Structure 1
Amino acid sequence: MTDLNRRKLLTALVALGGASVLNIPAVYAATNELVITTYGGSWEKFWRDTLIPGFTKETGITPKLDIGLGRVYTANMRAAGKEDPPYGCLMFNEIYAQVLRKEGFFEKLDQSLLPNYQDLYPVATKASDGYGAVGLISPIGIGYRTDMISAPPTSWKDLWENEELKGRLGLYNIVNSAGKMFLMLASKIYGSGIDDLETGFAKLKELGPVYQTDFNMSTAMATGEIAVAPFDFGEIARLREQGLPVDCIIPDEGLMMWDQTFSICANTPAREEAYKYLDFVLGPIGQDLLMREFFVSPVNKTVEVPEDLQKDVPVFGAAMDQFIEWDWELMNSRSEEIARRWNEIFGA
C-alpha cells in the first residue's frame, strides 16, 4: 500500500467512524506508528507505567499498545494479511509464534539492528530459527506447600512415585501451554522422547484425579486444595511475599517455562521503530525492569540477578541450560486429538 493510499484509507475511516476509529491496530499501522502488544491486568499496567516510558526515554518513540491474547493476535494478523500487519513487534507465546512464523508473517531478524541479540542465552534464540527472540522466560519448576509435604520433591517423577502426593496434585489444563508441556514431559521421561505421546497419555492416566486450572494455580495452593503442582517461580515468590509456606525447586530432569517470543512483523511500516523496541526489551534496561516486576529470568547474559532477588529468581547463568526443548509444531498439528484425549483422562 502506498503512502497516498494509506492517507486516503485513514481519511475515509475517520470520516466514517470519527476519532475512535484510531483505536483499531490496523489503522495505527496505516499511519506508520509503532504498535506493540501485551496482555491485560498487571502486564498492561507495567507496560504503560514502566516499560513504555523507559523505552520512550531511551529512543524518543512513543508506541501504541494493543491488549489481547495470543489467539486474538493470531486472528488479527490473518485477517489483516501479510502485506498490512496491524502490529510492528508482536509478543506472544511460542506455541502461537510457531504457527504465524511458518505462515510467513514475520521477517528474519536483521541482527545488525539488534545489538543486544548477541548477548542472549541460547534458550532465547534457538526455537525461532532467527525469526524471533524470547524476551521473557518464566521458569516452571515444582511448587509445593512446605507445611503439607514431609519431604520436598526433587524430580518430576515424584509426581507419580511419591504416594504422599496422590490426590493433592494440581495441573494446568490442556488449554494452557503448560498442560501441553506436561504431556510432552511425561512422554520424554517415561517414553522414547517428547513425541512418544502414547506413553505420555498412559502415564497421565496413572496420576488419578488432579485439580485442573487454565491459568490461576495460586488460589488452590493458597487454600490448601493442592499441595504440589508445576509452578512459575515468580508466582511462588508472590505467594511467599504474602506469608504462605511455599517453595519451588528445579527438578532433576529440567524445567518447563512460559515464554514470550517477540517477532518483527513482515512489511510493517514502522520497521525501524519495531527493531528499536525489540532491542530495548532484550537489552539490560528492559530485562532488568522485567525481572524486578515479574521475577522472570533475564534472557540477556549481561544482566546480573542481585543477591536479594536470587531466592525469587533462582534460574540464571548456568541454570539457563536446564530448560527442556518442546515440539510446538507437533502440539499444534495434533491439537484437537490431544485436547480430546487429555479431557478423556482428566475431564474438561
Structure 2
Amino acid sequence: MKDLGRRGLLTTAASALFAPRTGRAQDNSLIITTYGGSWETFWREQIVPRFVARTGASVSLDVGFGRTFSSALRAAGPGGTDYSVLMMNDIFVEPLCTGGNFEKLDMDLLPHACNLYDVAYAEHGMALTAMISPIGIGYRTDLVKTPPSCWRDLWTNPEFRGRIGLYNVQNSVGKAFVCLAGRLFGKGPEDMDGAFSALVRLGPVLQTDFNMSTMMGTGEIVVAPFDFGEIARLRRQGLPVDCVMPQEGMLMWDQTFTICAQARSRTLAYRYLDFIFEPEIQLMLAETFFVSPVSRAVKIPPSLAKDVPVTGDHMASIISTDWHWANENAATLDARWSHVFG
C-alpha cells in the first residue's frame, strides 16, 4: 500500500473523483480500487484480465489507501464519485455508511454470497468482507520456552515481559486489541477503564504502526498479535516463527467491499463483486496473500493448509470489532493509549 503516484491499468480514476458528473458512463465501463505493491500487481495481472475476459468490460484500476479513498468520497459527496466498487478496511467503510455514500447491497445480485461465513457480513448489509487476515499470537519458536495458547498468556507468562510487540492504536488492530482487553479484564469491549488498567499491567511493550515483522526478525520482540499470513511469509524465509489461534478468539484485518450510491455501471459493479466471491478467485487470493477465504465453498489444499490454517469452523472464532464505537471514541483511545505507552 504505497506510492499513490502509481496508477493501474487503463486510465487513472483519481481525477474523476472531484470532477462534476456530466453523465452516466456506459454500462460496460467500471472503475475499481486496490492497494499498491503486490496488491496492484495481482489485480493488474490476474483479477482484471479475468474479469474483462468474462464480461468484455472496460475496467480502470485506481491505486491508493483506504484513508485516501474515504477522504475522496467525503469530498465528492453521495453519488458524486465515478468509482463503482471500493475495497477498504471496514474501519474506513463504517463512517461513510451513515452518510449515504454506499447502497444497501442487493443480495439477489450476488449469488455467490450464499456461501459466505457470517463474519463476512458487515455494516448492516451495506458491505461485505471478501478477504480476512486473522490475527493470532505469533512468537519466536527459538526464543520462547512455553508457547502461548491464549491472549491472557501475554500478561501471565514471565518470559514475555518486556518482549511483547503491539500494533499501536493508530492501527485498527491496536483499537481491536483495546476492545479485546476490555473483554478479557473488564465488563466488555467498550470498557476502557478495564481495558487500559489491564494494558498498564502488560509492562513495557514495543509498538509499531504497521510492520511487526522487523522486530520479530531481529528478536527485539518474541511474541505479538500477528497476521497468520505474515507468519507464513516469515517462515518461508527461514525465520523460526509460528502463530497460534488463541482460546479466546482471533482478531482480524479485513478487506471489505462496497458499491457506491448511484454507482455508474451498477449491474457490472455487482457482477464484479460477485466475481470476487467465486471459489476460484477466493482460492487465488489465499494462495497469493495467505488470507482466509470467506466462502465456505473454498477447500484449502494440503499444500496450503499450514500457511492458511484459519478456515471452516475456525472462522467462527474471529472476533468482530464495533467500528462505529471505535471511530466515535478514536480521540479518547489515542489519548489513553499515549498515556499508558507513550
Please indicate the TM-score interval, normalised by the length of the shorter structure.
Answer: over 0.9
The two structures have a TM-score, normalised by structure 2, of 0.92
Tell me which residue corresponds to 1:121. Answer: 117
| Identity over aligned pairs, percent | 51
Cα offset, 1:21, TM superposition: 7.9
Cα offset, 1:84, TM superposition: 1.8
CA distance in 2, matches of 1:197, 1:315: 29
Tell me which residue corresponds to 1:68. Answer: 64
Change (3 A) 1:189 1:22: closer
Query: Runs of 5+ in structure 1 lacking a partner?
Result: 1-19
Q: Which moved more, 1:248-257 or 1:196-205?
A: 196-205
CA distance in 2, matches of 1:199, 1:108: 36
User: What are the Cα deviations for residues 7-36 of structure 1, in whole angstroms up to 9, with x where unaligned?
Assistant: xxxxxxxxxxxxx98652436986453111
Instruction: Please state if 1:315 is matched with 2:310.
Output: yes
Instruction: Please state if 1:270 is matched with 2:265.
Output: yes
Instruction: Please state if 1:210 is matched with 2:201.
Output: no
Instruction: Please state if 1:282 is matched with 2:277.
Output: yes
Q: Quick check: 2:131–2:255 contact (8 Å CA) kept in 1?
A: yes
| Structure holding more helix per residue | 1
Q: Secondary structure at the match of 2:125?
A: coil
Tell me which residue corresponds to 1:103. Answer: 99
User: What are the Cα deviations for residues 152-188 of structure 1, in whole angstroms up to 9, with x where unaligned?
Assistant: 1000000111111001100111110000011000000
Count of residue correspondences: 328
Q: Secondary structure at the match of 1:129?
A: helix
User: What are the Cα deviations for residues 229-288 of structure 1, in whole angstroms up to 9, with x where unaligned?
Assistant: 000000000000001100000000000000111000010112111111100111112201
User: What are the Cα deviations for residues 103-157 of structure 1, in whole angstroms up to 9, with x where unaligned?
Assistant: 12111111121111111011101x3211111001000000000000001100000
CA distance in 2, matches of 1:71, 1:232: 21
Q: Quick check: 2:79–2:260 contact (8 Å CA) kept in 1?
A: no
Tell me which residue corresponds to 1:24. Answer: 15
Tell me which residue corresponds to 1:144. Answer: 139
CA distance in 2, matches of 1:86, 1:93: 20
Change (3 A) 1:57 1:28: farther
Cα offset, 1:39, TM superposition: 1.1
Q: Which amino acid aligns with 2:61?
A: L
Q: Secondary structure at the match of 1:73?
A: helix
Which of structure 1's runs of 4+ aligned residues deviate more than 4 A? Answer: 20-23, 27-30
What does residue range 30-109 of structure 1 map to in structure 2 within 5 Å? 31-32=25-26, 33-109=29-105
Q: Quick check: 2:13–2:31 contact (8 Å CA) kept in 1?
A: no
Q: Quick check: 1:121–1:299 contact (8 Å CA) kept in 2?
A: yes
CA distance in 2, matches of 1:75, 1:302: 35
Cα offset, 1:101, TM superposition: 0.8
Q: Secondary structure at the match of 1:35?
A: strand
Q: Quick check: 1:91–1:260 contact (8 Å CA) kept in 2?
A: yes
Change (3 A) 1:22 1:234: closer
CA distance in 2, matches of 1:25, 1:91: 17
CA distance in 1, matches of 2:193, 2:51: 47
User: What are the Cα deviations for residues 87-107 of structure 1, in whole angstroms up to 9, with x where unaligned?
Assistant: 101111111111111212111
CA distance in 2, matches of 1:310, 1:28: 49
Tell me which residue corresponds to 2:129. Answer: 134
Q: Which moved more, 1:30-39 or 1:95-104?
A: 30-39
CA distance in 2, matches of 1:34, 1:57: 14
Q: Which amino acid aligns with 1:242?
A: Q
* Larger radius of gyration between Structure 1 and Structure 2: 1
Q: Which amino acid aligns with 2:316?
A: D
The two structures have a TM-score, normalised by structure 1, of 0.91
1:297 pairs with one of 292, 296, 317: 292
Q: Secondary structure at the match of 1:63?
A: strand
Q: Quick check: 2:82–2:264 contact (8 Å CA) kept in 1?
A: no
Change (3 A) 1:54 1:300: same
Q: Quick check: 1:51–1:289 contact (8 Å CA) kept in 2?
A: no
Instruction: Please state if 1:187 is matched with 2:182.
Output: yes
Change (3 A) 1:62 1:21: closer
Tell me which residue corresponds to 2:169. Answer: 174
Q: Quick check: 2:12–2:62 contact (8 Å CA) kept in 1?
A: no
What does residue range 320-335 of structure 1 map to in structure 2 within 5 Å? 320-335=315-330
Q: Which amino acid aligns with 2:53?
A: K
CA distance in 2, matches of 1:21, 1:54: 20
CA distance in 2, matches of 1:308, 1:53: 26
Q: Quick check: 1:22–1:28 contact (8 Å CA) kept in 2?
A: no
Change (3 A) 1:235 1:25: farther
Cα offset, 1:61, TM superposition: 2.0
